[in-house]
Amino acid sequence: MISGHLILMPSIIKMTDNKKTIIFALFLVIIVVAITLSGRGHFYEVSLFKSGDGWGYDISKKDKIYIHQPYMPAVEGQEPFKDKRSARKTGRLVIRKIRNHKSPAVTKEELRSVIND
């Protein structure tokens, strides 16, 4: 009986090594995919800046400015945002729209909703 078990031992050890190799290979594939996808994401950022008596925002990606908004959009005239919070929330709304493949234009209703929230 003991000799029968000894014959099976090398195949069990080999199967264990194969499982370890497969698990290690899957782990490497997951790491590579995660790194690849993280570089492809839409990492837009909102940066706030002083604009006249108020605030404006920039939308950038990888240190390149795509939108420079010194004034409130959809508002007649050149009126900056009254506070940082309103500028930041409007910039975040624009980023959401870009990520959803929509026009980054902000309507008066959207601006009112963001500012009064």
Domain ranges of the chain: 1-41, 44-116
Residue 59 CA: distances (Å) to CA of 14, 26, 30, 54, 86: 55, 37, 31, 17, 15
Distance CA 62, CA 11 (A): 52
Q: How many alpha carbons lie under 13 Å from residue 13 in its C-beta half-sphere?
A: 6
H or E segment to which residue 48 belongs: strand 44-51
Kindly report the average pLDDT of the chain as a whole number: 84
The model's confidence at residue 37, banded by pLDDT at 50, 70 and 90, is low
Q: Is 72 left (phi over 0), alpha (psi -120 to 50) or beta?
A: beta
Euclidean distance between CA atoms 47 and 87, whole angstroms: 9
State the pTM of this model: 0.65
Q: What is the pLDDT of residues 44-78, one digit of tens each?
A: 999 999 999 999 999 999 889 999 999 999 999 99
